[in-house]
Amino acid sequence: MNKAVVTKPNSLQWQFFMGCVNKLFNPEIKSRFNSLPNPNKAQLKFEVEDKLKKFYLKPGRKINFVFQLIHKKDLRNIFIDDDDPYPDVGGYSVLIRDTSKELTPNHNLTEKDIKENMKSASVSLGWIAEKLNFTKFISIIGYESIDYSKRKPTPALNKVINPKIQLEYQSILDSRFPAGRVPWLGFQAGQDFRNHPLHPSRGYQWLFQSKLGIPCNDK
C-alpha cells in the first residue's frame, strides 16, 4: 500500500475503499458496509476521492492505474447499462483505468529554451485648465510588444503520435505564447482637491481615463 496516499491503513474510509475494490474482483463476497447509513457512506466516499485526487495531482513519476469511486447510478453515464450487474458496496463502485500504455506529451521546455521579451514605452503631455476649476488633462501615446528571442515553443511528443495531434498541441502552445505588438492612445482627465496626497482627511478626487489600442497586421 502506497504510504503517500494511505497514511492510516486501518481508517474507516480506506477499509470502505478496499471493500469496494475487493467486491470488484470478487463479487460474491459480503461487505459490512452495506448496512451503513447512506450519509456515512457518502462521507467516506468523499474522503477517499479527496485523498486520491491530491495524490494524482502531485508531480512525480507516471501513474499506471487510476482509481475512481462513484455511485452506481452514475455508471450508466459512463459505459454501464442498467441491466449490467456491476459490483457495488452499498451503492458505490470502483472504476480502474489502465494508463500504462497511454502516451503523454513531454513539452520539455525550460527558461533557457524560451525567453520572453516584453517592451513598452509611452510619452505623455499634460496641462491644467484654470477656467475648468483646475482640471488636469493628460494625453498619452504608447507602444507595447512581446516576442521570443530564441525559438517558438513546440511540443516534444513521441514520434508515434499522429501528426494531427501534434498540430493540436501546437495550437495550444501558440495560444499560450502569443507574440505581437500594439500602439495605443490614452487620455486622462481629473481633479484632486484632497488636503493631503497620502493621508487625506477631507476633500475629493475623481479621474476619467480611456485607452485605445491600434490594431497591427502581425504575421
With a pLDDT cut of 90, the percent of the chain lying above it is 22
How far is Cα 171 from Cα 153, in angstroms, rounded to an integer?
10
Query: Which of 93-97, 154-158, 161-165, 197-201 comes out lowest in average pLDDT?
Result: 154-158
Mean pLDDT of the chain: 80
Tens digit of pLDDT for each residue in 177-197? 778 889 999 999 999 999 998
Per-residue pLDDT at 107: 47
- pLDDT of residue 160 exceeding 50, the answer is no
Give the H or E element holding residue 96: strand 92-98
For the entire predicted model, the pTM comes to 0.44
- pLDDT of residue 54 exceeding 60, the answer is yes
Report the sign of the C-alpha dihedral through residues 55, 59, 60, 62, in that order.
positive
Tens digit of pLDDT for each residue in 103-147? 555 445 555 556 778 889 999 999 999 999 999 999 999 999 988
CB 157 within 8 A of CB 106: yes
Per-residue pLDDT at 121: 95
Collapsing DSSP states into helix, strand and coil, what is residue 125? strand
Per-residue pLDDT at 157: 53
